[in-house]
Amino acid sequence: MAHAIFSPSSADRWFKCPASAYLNYQAEYTVGLPAATGTLIHSMTEMLLKDRLRDMTLRDYWIGRKEVVEDFEIEVDEDMVACAEVYVDYIEKRQKELGARSVIEEKVYLDEISGKCFGTADCILLAEDRICVIDLKSGKWNVEAMKNKQLMIYGLGALTRYGGGNPDITMELTIVQPRVKNQIKTFEISAPNLVEWGFTDLKQATDACDEESPQYNFGDHCRFCNAKADCDEYKRNSGE
């Protein structure tokens, strides 16, 4: 599947700088070592959650293995395995508490808002009157769950697919980040309030990106922009 123009993972940036959406879609996509390591850790969690290991632990299989991800050769260590285990342990605990069904690496779509906004949720738990979206962040840069746009987009996609129009559903949006002090952070929002956000804030943001001459805005969100080397607004304000 093609990469989304309005990618959930970069929503915080294109909400603030509408011009960056198409610029990044057209720019050469570069992946650093931290992101490549995160991809590998996600592979570990998927093996556990999809029960692909037989008669061995995650450590037995992974410790000392070398994998090539995005042109980086990465040797798996204890910290990476521990990161995967914290995430999987939380999912299994929450799934048991709720008596929920799990859906792993699920693609979600928001066609009613924009066909250019879609992505893959790490884990969705489906329980009675509750849908949980649980996202793994393997980095050390603290990420908050409160009104996290990426999680809200995933949540809206999950609600669209699995909510059945039930207004009494509570959306539980959680970030598990094993490498920071506050490892597990959760934001809850009612289904009607999430839908309202989708058709107001999110729709306004995607419409702003789709304007003939979308606005450029400089700020902290430029940090992870793949197009900043070719952006006059960034050069003018950053001094680079």
The whole domain housing 170 covers 12-211
pLDDT bin (cut points 50, 70, 90) of residue 119 is very high
pLDDT of residue 76 exceeding 50: yes
Q: Is residue 40 part of a domain?
A: yes
User: What pLDDT is recorded for position 186?
Assistant: 98
Tell me the mean pLDDT in the region 93-102: 97
Q: Is residue 231 part of a domain?
A: no
From 53-57, 71-75, 82-86, 186-190, the region with the lowest mean pLDDT: 53-57
Report pLDDT digits (tens) over 195-235: 999 999 999 999 999 999 999 999 999 988 888 888 888 88
**155, 173 contact by CB (below 8 A):** yes
Report pLDDT digits (tens) over 130-161: 999 999 999 888 999 999 999 999 999 999 99
Q: Is residue 222 part of a domain?
A: no
**Structural domains of the chain, count:** 1
pLDDT of residue 1 exceeding 70: no
User: What pLDDT is recorded for position 240?
Assistant: 67
Mean pLDDT, the chain, rounded, equals 93
Q: Is residue 226 part of a domain?
A: no
Distance CA 199, CA 203 (A): 5
pLDDT bin (cut points 50, 70, 90) of residue 105 is very high
Main-chain dihedrals φ then ψ at residue 74, nearest 5 degrees: -120, 125
Q: Is residue 2 part of a domain?
A: no
CATH of the domain at 130: 3.90.320
User: What pLDDT is recorded for position 161?
Assistant: 95
Distance CA 103, CA 121 (A): 9
User: What pLDDT is recorded for position 53?
Assistant: 82
Could you tell me whether strands 184-190 and 72-75 are parallel, antiparallel, or unpaired per DSSP bridges?
unpaired
Q: Is residue 165 part of a domain?
A: yes
Could you tell me whether strands 170-176 and 184-190 are parallel, antiparallel, or unpaired per DSSP bridges?
antiparallel
Q: Is residue 48 part of a domain?
A: yes
Query: Residue 112 corresponds to which tokens in the numbers above?
Result: 């009613």
Q: Is residue 96 part of a domain?
A: yes
